[in-house]
Amino acid sequence: MSLLETFAEIEHHFRPLLAYLPADAAAKITSFGKAKFMQKYIEDVPDEKVMFRKDHSVKLWDIRFNAPIFNAAGMFKLGKGYNVVANQGAGAFLAGTTTYRSREGNTKYKTTHPFLPFPRSQAAINWLGLPNPGHEVVADRLSKIERVKNCPIGISLSYDSVDSNEIALKNMVLGLDMYERAGVDFIEINESCPNVEGKSVSNNLEPELIERLEYISQNFIAKLNRNLPVIVKLSNDTNLNQVEDLVRILSDLKYAGVNFGNTSTRYKELENSIRRKEKHHYYYFYNTFGGGLSGEPLKQTSLELASKAIKSISKINPQNEFHVIRTGGISSIRDIEQSIQNGIQLNQWYTGYFKNFGLHGHDLYKKILD
Instruction: Determine the distance from the C-alpha atom of residue 332 to the mean position of all C-alpha atoms in its chain, rounded to a whole number.
Output: 17
Topology of the domain covering 3-369: TIM Barrel (3.20.20)
For the chain, domain boundaries: 3-369
The one-digit pLDDT tens for each residue of the chain (370 residues) are: 899 999 999 999 999 999 999 999 999 999 999 999 999 999 999 998 888 877 789 999 999 999 999 999 999 999 999 999 999 999 999 999 999 999 999 999 999 999 999 999 999 999 999 999 999 999 999 999 999 999 999 999 998 877 888 999 999 999 999 999 999 999 999 998 665 554 445 556 788 999 999 999 999 999 999 999 999 999 999 999 999 999 999 999 999 999 998 899 999 999 999 999 999 999 999 999 999 999 999 999 999 999 999 999 999 988 899 999 999 999 999 999 999 999 999 999 999 999 999 999 999 999 999 7
Q: What is the pTM of this model?
A: 0.94
From residue 32, give the alpha-carbon distance in Å to each of 36, 170, 173: 6, 35, 34
Q: Which of 201, 202, 353, 188 is nearest to 290 (CA)?
A: 201
Beta strand spans in the chain (E): 58-60, 63-65, 69-71, 93-98, 107-108, 111-112, 115-118, 123-126, 153-157, 186-190, 230-234, 257-260, 292-295, 323-327, 346-349
From residue 11, give the alpha-carbon distance in Å to each of 15, 33, 71: 6, 10, 21
Q: Which of 96, 12, 55 is nearest to 358 (CA)?
A: 12
Containing 214, the helix (H) or strand (E) segment is helix 207-219
Task: Classify residue 265 by burial, with Cβ atoms within 10 Å: 0-12, 13-18, 19+.
Answer: buried
Residues 6 or more apart from 288 whose CB is under 8 A from it?
A: 24, 27, 108, 109, 114
